[in-house]
Amino acid sequence: MIFSETDMPDISRRSLAAGVGLLAGAVAVPAAAQQLLAVANAPKFRAQPLTLNPDKIKWLSAQSITEHHAIYAESVNRLNAITEQLAQIDFAKAQPAEIGELKREQQVVYNSSLLHELHFECIGDAPTSPSGVFAQAMSRDFVSLDRWKAEFAAMGKAVTDGKGMVILAYTPRDKRLINHLAADHATGPVGCVPLIVMDMYEHAYKADFAGDPAKYVDGFVQMVRWVTPERLYREAIRV
């Protein structure tokens, strides 16, 4: 799920960062040097390739999947643009309204990128079932897999405005699994670890199920690639 990294390819940038870092330990760093360091340290985000073969997914068309992935890649590009723009701002002199607008959009595209990555990782090509400790947790918190499927599907079918995300998440505080319905990319479960994401934005299903998104929901729920939430759950409970 990690799709970001700090990208500083230029030796001069690395030298600058190291030099300013050493200087910071002894004296105050001049504003101009701080600005250069902020730009040098700005992270670069990269769109992750699909981990599935679109041609093997029979309940969604390959064209729909690849076009959806292109939309996700655009979000990553926008995230990079905003992050770079913020790094170049002198916050002591900038208008608060400008900063606020950029930070709000940054949150939206950052969340969108992460949620889309998990959505694609959860698309399966054949019906399977959860196993191991994750299967036990599903039974504990939802009584049965069928009951979880019914709730998750009902939440997806409740989305009638063509936007939102249905999320199965693990809550470390309560040590339980819970389904969430996020109205958009700016909202979501606080302090939770997403395990399954079903994208309910219209672009996820319009090409194949324009008049009947319920069929898209049923297809997703029946074809979840369970190895993804199983792995994420095991990682979450070890933290």
Contact 10, 42 (CB under 8 A): no
Does the pLDDT at position 5 exceed 50? no
Contact 204, 68 (CB under 8 A): yes
Q: Read off the pLDDT of residues 190-226 as tens digits, 9 standing for 90 and up.
A: 999 999 999 999 999 999 998 799 999 999 999 999 9
Torsion-angle region of 164 (φ positive above 0: left; ψ -120 to 50: alpha; else: beta)? left
Where do the structural domains in the chain lie, given as residue ranges? 4-121, 132-238
Q: Which amino acid is at 136?
A: Q
The DSSP 8-state label assigned to residue 205 in this structure reads T
Write down the CATH superfamily of domain 132-238.
Iron/manganese superoxide dismutase, C-terminal domain (3.55.40.20)
Contact 202, 188 (CB under 8 A): no
What is the three-class DSSP state of 168?
A: strand
Half-sphere exposure of 208 (CA within 13 A, CB side): 20
Of 1, 109, 2, 117, which is closest to residue 50 (Cα–Cα)?
Answer: 117
Q: What is this structure's pTM?
A: 0.85
Q: Read off the pLDDT of residues 148-203 as tens digits, 9 standing for 90 and up.
A: 999 999 999 999 999 999 999 999 999 999 999 999 999 888 999 999 999 999 99
Q: Which amino acid is at 9?
A: P
Residue 169 β-bridge partners: 178, 194
Contact 123, 187 (CB under 8 A): no
3-state DSSP of 31-73 = HHHHHHHHHHHCEEECCCCCCCCHHHCCCCCHHHHHHHHHHHH
